[in-house]
Amino acid sequence: MIEKATGRSDWRVAVVLGSGLSDLAASLVAADPIPFSHIEGMPSSGVPGHAGALFAGDVGDTPTLIFAGRVHLYEGRDMTEVTYPVRAAIGAGCEVVVLTNAAGGIDPSLEVGAPCLISDHLNLTGRTPLFGPNDDSAGPRFLDLSDVYDKELRTLAKDLDRGLDEGVYAGLLGPTYETPAEVRMLRALGADLVGMSTVNEAIAARYLKTRVLGISVVSNLAAGLSPTPLSHEEVSAAGQKAAARLESLLRGILVKL
Ligand code: HPA
């Protein structure tokens, strides 16, 4: 499907851009966007800020698929749809998947509007892409998750951007933002960031033996940590604020892969 839509079969890296980050796709690769609706099987999202197009081209010498927009479980989408871009990219040859998202900052020392590496996650969506019968030829029934977010890739990112923060991402089902009590609970559980995506895509990629890098943009302080109510507009605006730093970080990583 990806090969057919792009006319190429040498893809090496996939990037999924989250809320408010879609504009980065055109800055990273000079390619005409392919609407998700033109790619067989690819689900498209109705959420503002999730444009729903694939930008396929080279960053440096690295053949890169950039998915601008994703679908979420909270839209009523099923796990097959949520993990489709990751699985399709891996099927097209990608060996590394970079998952980005907008997240609320639970650790109060995190800078709003800055990127933050994901060191590990708490999957609190109540779902997993590996639910159901297992095809043992595709991957293991009981998958080891001790190293979901690749250490070498994180080191590369930190070498490129010395001030980069790192934290544990709690993935929730959404679509509500959390209550202040839930945020206190997440902090006690060891979360630094909270959002509504990424964890199941990361699990699907690891199942398919693919390296994962996760990067959140801290779009707001999590509920109860700031005097103002949370809004999708605030989340999207933070993406734009973080764009320049995230773009140079992503470019730096992509050219080295
Ligand atoms: N909570 C959950 N998801 C989010 C948030 C948040 O505070 N900010 C951006 N996505």
Q: What are the structural domains, with CATH classification, of the chain?
A: 2-240 (3.40.50.1580)
- Where do the H-state alpha helices sit in the chain? 2-6, 24-28, 79-82, 84-91, 151-160, 180-189, 199-207, 232-256
Taking the alpha carbons of 201, 206, 210, 216 in that order, is the dihedral positive or negative? positive
Rounded to 5°, the CA angle 79-84-85 comes to 135
What is the Å distance from ligand 1's center to 171 Cα?
9
| Ligand 1 atom with minimal separation from the 196 CA | 3
Over the chain (257 residues), the average pLDDT of each successive run of 10 is: 92 93 90 91 71 91 95 94 96 97 95 95 98 95 97 97 96 96 98 98 98 96 88 80 90 96
**Given this model, what pLDDT does residue 22 score?**
86
**Given this model, what pLDDT does residue 129 score?**
98
Name residues contacting ligand 1 (CB within 6 A): 102-104, 177-178, 194-196, 219-220, 222, 230, 235
Q: Spell out where the chain has E strands.
A: 13-17, 34-35, 53-59, 62-68, 96-105, 115-124, 165-172, 193-195, 211-221
**Given this model, what pLDDT does residue 229 score?**
84
**Given this model, what pLDDT does residue 227 score?**
85
Of the residues 184, 196, 199, 221, which should be mutated to test ligand 1's pocket, given the most ligand atoms within 8 Å of the CB?
Answer: 196
**Given this model, what pLDDT does residue 48 score?**
59
- Known catalytic residues? 19, 50, 72, 74-75, 102, 196-197, 220, 232
| Ligand 1 atom with minimal separation from the 178 CA | 1
| Residue in the structure block whose two tokens are 């977010």 | 149
Q: Which two tokens stand for residue 94?
A: 């990608």
Of the residues 47, 110, 173, 177, which should be mutated to test ligand 1's pocket, given the most ligand atoms within 8 Å of the CB?
Answer: 177
What is the Å distance from ligand 1's center to 177 Cα?
6
What is the Å distance from ligand 1's center to 256 Cα?
31
Helix (H, G, I), strand (E, B) or coil at 51: coil
What is the Å distance from ligand 1's center to 222 Cα?
7
